[in-house]
Amino acid sequence: MRIDVLSLFPDMFTPLKQSILGKAIDKGALDFHVTDFRDYTENKHNNVDDYPFGGGAGMLLMAQPIFDAMAAVEKEAGDKGHVVLLDPAGRQFDHHVAEELAQKEHITFIAGHYEGYDERIRELVDDEISLGDYVLTGGELGAMVIIDATARFLPDVLGNQASAAEDSFQDNLLEFPQYTRPADFRGRQVPDVLMSGNHAKIAEWRLKESLRRTWLRRPDLLEARQLTNQERDLLDDVKNED
Do 25 and 131 lie in a common domain?
yes
Distance, CA of 193 to CA of 81 (rounded, Å)? 49
If you average pLDDT over residues 118-123, what whole number do you get? 96
Q: Say which CATH number the domain at 234 has.
A: 1.10.1270.20
Are the beta carbons of 96 and 52 closer than 8 angstroms? Answer: no
134 is in an annotated binding site: yes
Same domain, 123 and 235: no
In the listed set 88, 120, 151, which residue is the last one of a domain according to the structure? 151
Q: Establish if 161 belongs to a structural domain.
A: no
* 27 and 108 within one domain: yes
Q: Known binder of ligand: residue 133? A: yes
Instruction: Round to whole Å and give the CA distance between 81 and 36.
Output: 17
| Residue 199 and residue 80 share a domain | no
- Share the mean pLDDT of the chain: 93
- Residues taking part in catalysis: 88, 115, 152, 167
- Domain check: are 40 and 107 in the same one? yes
Give the CATH number for residue 27. Answer: 3.40.1280.10
Residue 162 counted as domain residue: no
Q: How many domains does the chain have?
A: 2
One domain for residues 98 and 50: yes
137 versus 37: which is more confidently predicted? 37
| 180 occurs within a structural domain | yes
Instruction: For residues 43 and 80, state if they share a domain.
Output: yes
Q: Is residue 131 part of a domain?
A: yes
Q: pTM for the complete prediction? A: 0.86
Q: Which of 151, 176, 209 is the last residue of a domain?
A: 151
**What does the pLDDT look like over 16-66, one tens digit per residue?**
989 899 999 999 999 999 999 999 999 999 999 999 999 888 899 999 999
Question: Looking at the structure, do residues 108 and 213 belong to the same domain, yes or no?
Answer: no
The C-alpha atoms of residue 77 and residue 73 are separated, in whole angstroms, by 6
The verdict on residue 218 lying in a domain is yes
For residue 169, how many other CB atoms are within 10 A of its CB? 16
Dihedral sign from CA coordinates of 19, 22, 23, 29 = positive
Same domain, 82 and 122: yes
Q: What is the pLDDT of residues 75-104, one digit of tens each?
A: 999 999 999 999 988 999 999 999 999 999
Is 40 annotated to bind a ligand? Reply is no
Residue 48 in marked binding region: no
Structural domain contains residue 160: no
Residue 210 has pLDDT above 90, yes or no: yes
Other Cβ atoms less than 10 A from the Cβ of 47: the count is 13
Residues 181 and 92 in one domain: no
Do 112 and 189 belong to one domain?
no
157 domain residue, yes or no: no
Domain span at residue 225 reads 168-241
Whether residue 8 is found in the same domain as residue 104: yes
132 known member of a binding site: yes
Q: Please tell me whether 233 is known to bind a ligand.
A: no
- Evaluate whether residue 158 is within a structural domain: no
112 is in an annotated binding site: yes
